Amino acid sequence: MDLPNDLRIALESELASVPQKNVANAAGKLSRRYRGGQLPESSSFLRSRSDVVAYTAYRLPATFAAIYAALNEVRKRRPAWQPRTFLDAGTGPGSALWAACEIWPELEQIALLERDEHMIAFGKQLATHTRSAVVNRASWQKVDLLGQWESEPRDLVTTTYVIGELPILQREGLINKLWSITADTLVIVEPGTPVGFSHIRQARQQLIDTGAYIIAPCPHDLPCPMGENDWCHFAQRVARSQLQR
């Protein structure tokens, strides 16, 4: 798939002034931090604006494509459903914002929760390049998802590439929190890896235990049929610019 024109132009505009060598070096450091394991709860893999730029250049296209694919599957299964309110927890530079507005351009209220100030600033800057009034109206909120925060119920709630970075008890607590503010549909996206699949399977069973109805990836509420040493995932290709490659 191709990125929406507004998002492609926004990325090209913001990355044009950054030397490719700087982005490549920062992306390499960022990748090594991720491979090295989790940091303490009070720290972050993203430590500066250059880290945020590197993350955006390297990760946003693929992240957008995965989120778009997941939300599009929701639309296919519920074509008559039109969410009006939307919350994304751990939004990063706003990948889910762009994906949700591409699928449901009639969204009215959007809340984006993110703890990193550099990420919020960069996400807001990306949004200045769009003609979408919905994207521009989105409310960016500096929130630590593991701290104390509140929200009114939202029709659509998403969290993407977040729960896998948390210890299991905090993961379960966040899922319960997100489900408590979900008025209709909760979407969780994790990497397509055996570990990512295990997190999705655990979240799926936790939500079933609280009374949720599952529409994907398994369209039933029975135990996951995959064996302990097996896993499933979904692929989504996306076109990348020269800089992103």
pLDDT of residue 239: 76
Mean pLDDT check: name the lowest of 4-13, 40-49, 197-206. Answer: 40-49
For residues 68 and 31, the answer to whether their CB atoms sit within 8 Å is: no
Going by pLDDT thresholds of 50, 70 and 90, the confidence category of residue 242 is: low
pLDDT of residue 241: 64
Going by pLDDT thresholds of 50, 70 and 90, the confidence category of residue 243 is: low
Mean pLDDT check: name the lowest of 33-42, 66-75, 159-168, 193-202. Answer: 33-42
- Of how many residues is the chain composed? 245
User: May I ask the CATH architecture of the domain 5-209?
Assistant: 3-Layer(aba) Sandwich (3.40)
pTM: 0.89
Q: What is the mean pLDDT of residues 201-226?
A: 92
Mean pLDDT check: name the lowest of 6-10, 44-48, 126-130. Answer: 44-48
pLDDT higher than threshold 90 for residue 13: no
pLDDT of residue 32: 67
Q: What is the mean pLDDT of residues 34-59?
A: 63
Q: What is the mean pLDDT of residues 159-166?
A: 93
Beta carbons within 10 angstroms of residue 14's beta carbon: 18
Three-state secondary structure call for residue 96? helix
Percent of the chain scoring above 90 in pLDDT: 59
The Cα 153–Cα 160 span in angstroms is 19
* Exposed e or buried b per residue across 198-234, where buried means at least 16 C-beta atoms within 10 angstroms of its C-beta: ebbbbbbeebbeeebeebeeeeeeeebeeeeeebeee
pLDDT of residue 63: 92
What is the rounded average pLDDT for all residues in the chain? 87
Helix, strand, coil percentages for the chain (3-state, nearest 5):
45, 10, 40
Tokens matching residue 212:
């949720």
Q: What is the DSSP letter of 155?
A: E
110 vs 233, higher pLDDT: 110
